[in-house]
Structure 1
């Protein structure tokens, strides 16, 4: 298919007001074509909390105009002559939150890219939207008709997963799968998940799929308990409802994944849920300040505090394979692409259960 057969159009954030349901549909200039690229006709795109942060310039100044969306699934319609990954025109493919890294530029890879940890590229992590490729072109995301991404970061979607389910796996899914896998979630492990939203509900699903002995979901309100248990959690802790939750559940977990993006989290209390030598991994990224950690909470139990950022292409493939084998089914609500503005408002209001997916 020739490049001129289709236009790149999408929902553009022009300023901070775009987060208030004021994105504008318009044409945009995609990445300058390179023979390592793939063009994707977008069928589905999940709505991620990162989209809201970027639209309102919450983390850093956004390079407007910006088309957000980094949980992209669609059909490959143009494949460059030097594309990698064995993708052919007509294949169903996806793109997550990363669109580029140093890879083999300048003749050699950084250690991280060489080890398949592209998300920690020493040179530069290029975001799927609101960023710039190595050739200087701006990146545009998936609230659109088409997407152009370097083939290294385009993933073939296994047949056993519906597109609407695969889309949120490409960010929310891998953001929670990667730390669980890295910290050896599996038989013999008792795992906690703080926050039951788009990311947290995935963390519960993955922990069960990976065979954890016990999965404990932690949220503020009791209203999410039924959902947590349906997703597979064995225990639910509603911190606002039980004043003694720390005493009741202290020293009971080996690993905690914290998905909450707030600087006001009671980190000392969460750390107290860990056994000696336990680990808390933070994946939520607050824009309202820094996390406050009481030093004794770390010292008195020799616990570890860490973080984690998405996953590289090979880890995404591994995750999708697990999802297909174990029939991992995230909770998604499909929304027509034309209603993206309304969906963003509802996402910001916490109405998603637990992921909105835009459908072209």
Structure 2
């Protein structure tokens, strides 16, 4: 079935959209380019970024906005200049990025670091292409995306499992791989939400000697153990946790999006030359720390942003081979508003995935 001229999706028209006030309406996608692919969406994960964007939490959002950047579906149209071997009907995915400059003189794009492109990074929603058109995300029936950022889904992954990997999964997989997670490494994951649970799953699958889940309370400790965590630290309940676990970790990946985090305590957990990598993005600043928290042990603080198309492809294949299966709850696309509210209220265990049902979609039109 060819793509329609207009797509339909859940559009937020102001910051109240984050409170469940999106409306299912028509929108016009970017003009179809020879390098584009159209996708009939079957699944779309709900990411914390969706909520930040709906409420203009990271800056002014361009409304109307259709969020969703964990998209899985089937190819319905292929541009004449697409060089990757896609076929109509192929099952594919799109993550948080839909374009970069891709120029040979771009240090990032020419080295497979498209996610850090400083000249032409375009987000899958609330982003603007060079022609001036805006990007629309996956809480919709179709998506139109430049083919460079479309990834084939391995046959070993179910669509509902692959969808949240396209942003949530790669956000933790990329820094784990970059910073040497694997045999001989002891890794801590701060936060056990949508991102954090992927951190535990991937750290375990990568063969780390020890995987430590770190959260405020012990309410999720049994879940963390089931995911593969060897130890659980509850920072608001465990007395003197910083001292007890001091110098025990080589790498910490922090997935929390709160500015109220005991950063100095986390740094005490690191061994000499340990690394603390922040991937969660608070709407406020991170807390201040004393310089000697870094100097005394030669620790480093860094950050990481999603991953390149090549890294996403690698991650999906790794997940298929290792049997990495996220904890997802499927919700019908018609329940997107309720799902966004439930996500904000912390009810997801641990990633909501919206599923397009043909009957539901027709009922919303």
Aligned position for 1:167: 163
C-alpha deviation, 1:241, in angstroms: 1.1
Aligned position for 2:316: 320
Aligned position for 2:66: 67
C-alpha deviation, 1:6, in angstroms: 5.8
C-alpha deviation, 1:87, in angstroms: 1.2
C-alpha deviation, 1:124, in angstroms: 2.5
2:219 is paired with a residue whose SS is helix
Aligned position for 2:23: 24
Q: Indicate whether 1:98 and 2:97 are aligned.
A: yes
- After superposition, the CA RMSD in angstroms is 1.0
Per-residue Cα deviation, 1:206-246 (whole angstroms, up to 9, x for no partner): 11111100000000111110000000000001111112111
C-alpha deviation, 1:184, in angstroms: 1.1
Aligned position for 1:293: 289
Aligned position for 1:81: 80
Contact 2:6 2:29 in 1 (8 A): no
Contact 2:5 2:28 in 1 (8 A): no
* TM-score, scaled to structure 1: 0.97
Aligned position for 2:136: 140
Contact 1:30 1:139 in 2 (8 A): yes
Gaps of 5+ in 1: none
Q: Distance in 1 between matches of 2:150 and 2:40?
A: 13
Q: Indicate whether 1:340 and 2:333 are aligned.
A: no
Equivalent of 1:114 in 110, 116, 130: 110
Q: Indicate whether 1:248 and 2:247 are aligned.
A: no
Q: Distance in 2 between matches of 1:126 and 1:264?
A: 30
Contact 1:263 1:292 in 2 (8 A): no
Per-residue Cα deviation, 1:102-152 (whole angstroms, up to 9, x for no partner): 003xxx340110111000112131100011012211000000000000000
Q: Name the count of aligned residue pairs.
A: 356
Matches within 5 A, 1:195-274: 195-274=191-270
C-alpha deviation, 1:264, in angstroms: 1.2
Contact 1:141 1:147 in 2 (8 A): yes
Aligned position for 2:363: none
Q: Distance in 1 between matches of 2:85 and 2:208?
A: 34
2:188 is paired with a residue whose SS is strand
Does 11-20 or 283-292 show the bigger shift? 283-292
Q: Distance in 2 between matches of 1:44 and 1:2?
A: 19
Q: Indicate whether 1:56 and 2:55 are aligned.
A: yes
C-alpha deviation, 1:84, in angstroms: 3.1
1:222 is paired with a residue whose SS is coil
Q: Distance in 1 between matches of 2:331 and 2:34?
A: 34
Per-residue Cα deviation, 1:145-201 (whole angstroms, up to 9, x for no partner): 000000000000000000000000000000000000000111000000000000000
Q: Distance in 2 between matches of 1:270 and 1:137?
A: 43
* TM-score, scaled to structure 2: 0.96
